[in-house]
Structure 1
Amino acid sequence: MEFKICGITRPEDIQVCENENSAFIGFINVKRSKRFLDIEKIRKFVDSMKKNEEAVLVIEPESAEEVIDLVEKSGVKNVQLHSLKAEDIADLKEINVIRAIGIPEKIDASKKEEIKSFAKVCKYLMFDSMIRGKSGGTGKQIPLEVAAEAAEIAKKSNKNIKLFLAGGINAQRIKIEGNLIKDIFDYVDINSGVEDSPGIKNRDKIVEFVENCKVIK
């Protein structure tokens, strides 16, 4: 099972992620996040990576133009967006977009249309838990049957879409539900599940998580 480790704030954690063959490594440039990094620091981290094509810039921009500007400044080609409408993202043809979508306990007609609209214009979608309108960083898991429903909606709109499952991912969930998750999702996204505190990754937790991913065929 392939995975993304997000919320990196230290150079030593980049090295651990690279040694453990993380498919993507995420850097957060959203000021309200406890793992916020400014663009200058992200640029230094990206330049230090063995494979900087694995870097993901997590942002909450107000326009497509802002995305382009931040991509140029950071040197990152993959962006994880927590804002912008589908029509704005359609203009970002040279950038690999992962659009995060908050998934509530029940998917209604409005959420179905949201998933469909983003699936048509994005290379990747990331489903994260949503609590009282807030998504991302909640630490809450999406029930697998709800995540599967969201994935089916996305794939019907775009058969080539690649999907991430986020929200409270940890080694234990992979151990218990990993085979089921692998049948539905291309990647899992982990953040707090391998931390001692916000932004401080724990090597042993990363290794345990990765070992559980490796046994998923």
Structure 2
Amino acid sequence: MKVKICGMTRPKDVQICEDAGADFIGFINIKRSKRFVELERINELKHFMKNKDRAVLVMEPENAEEVLFALRKTGIKILQLHSLSPYEIKYLKWRDCFKISPLEKDLKIVRAVGISDKLSEDKKEEIKEFARVCDAIIFDYEVEGKSGGTGRQIPIETAVKASKIAKNIKKSIKTVLAGGMSTERIKGYEKILDKYFDYVDVNSGVEDAPGIKNPLKIKELFGIKGHLSIKY
């Protein structure tokens, strides 16, 4: 099970998280987020990483062209999208296939799917649709149609069902669990998480305040016995 730490706003937090063992480092470019960072600043923060291929750009774009603009600005090729339809994502993947621009080569697209306590039939279909076109799906708690940044936890049984649905559609799909993830929750469900998810996404669980990471909490997170690395 891999770990992504999201919501970076400061150079020292980028370095601390990467040195501690974070597999991926997330930068949020969504204005409604308390951890919003402009693209120019994200590009600066990325340069504090030893392995820039582990950077993840978190977006809620209005269209595919906005994604392409962000690619040119940051050079980050792992995209976590909290919007765009399966059709628009297929368009981005099509561009990737034809290598229209060197910056678009080898894109990885992670689509956020917001779920709450139970999975409706419509939500199950949504998971299936995105599993067919994406490289990974991140499950986060949904409030009023928005996913991410709520700090609320998806019931583990519901999250496992969602992961199974995605993997039944495409074996190669990677699944991610987010939403109020902390060291305590990972410890409590470590075996389940390791079995049904490829990585977890941690944000507020290692912070003192939005965008301000706590080195001791990060150290504790990576001290969990049984932390495994699986190729993305």
Q: TM-score, normalised by structure 1?
A: 0.96
Deviation, 1:86, is 0.5
121, 130, 151: which one aligns with 1:118: 130
Deviation, 1:47, is 2.3
143, 146, 153: which one aligns with 2:158: 146
Deviation, 1:136, is 0.7
Deviation, 1:66, is 1.1
Which residue matches 1:176?
188
Deviation, 1:134, is 2.8
Which residue matches 1:193?
205
The Cα offsets for residues 53-108 of structure 1, whole Å up to 9 and x where unpaired, read as 00001111011111111011111111110000001001122321110000121111
Which residue matches 2:91?
91
Deviates more, 1:128-137 or 1:148-157: 128-137
Deviation, 1:207, is 0.7
Distance (Å, rounded) in 1 between the aligned partners of 2:2 and 2:127: 22
Distance (Å, rounded) in 1 between the aligned partners of 2:227 and 2:43: 33
The alignment partner of 1:125 has SS state of strand
Which residue matches 1:129?
141
Deviation, 1:135, is 1.6
Distance (Å, rounded) in 2 between the aligned partners of 1:134 and 1:38: 20
Query: For the aligned residues, what is the CA RMSD?
Result: 1.1
Structure 1 spans left out of the alignment, 5+ residues: none
Which residue matches 2:115?
103
Deviation, 1:216, is 4.3
Which residue matches 1:16?
16
Give 1:166's aligned amino acid: A
Poorly superposed stretches of 4+, deviation over 6 Å: none
The alignment partner of 2:186 has SS state of helix
Check if 1:167 corresponds to 2:157. no
Give 1:209's aligned amino acid: L
Is this contact kept in 1: 2:27–2:57, CA < 8 A? yes
Percent identical residues: 52
Distance (Å, rounded) in 1 between the aligned partners of 2:121 and 2:82: 21
Deviation, 1:133, is 2.5
Going from structure 1 to structure 2, the CA distance change for 1:18 and 1:216 (only over 3 Å counts) comes to closer
The alignment partner of 1:97 has SS state of strand
Check if 1:215 corresponds to 2:230. no
Distance (Å, rounded) in 2 between the aligned partners of 1:163 and 1:211: 23
Deviation, 1:196, is 0.1
Give 1:196's aligned amino acid: D
Distance (Å, rounded) in 1 between the aligned partners of 2:2 and 2:26: 14
Aligned length: 216
Check if 1:55 corresponds to 2:55. yes
Which residue matches 2:46?
46
Is this contact kept in 2: 1:128–1:136, CA < 8 A? yes
Q: TM-score, normalised by structure 2?
A: 0.90
The alignment partner of 2:223 has SS state of helix
Give 2:90's aligned amino acid: A
The alignment partner of 2:80 has SS state of strand
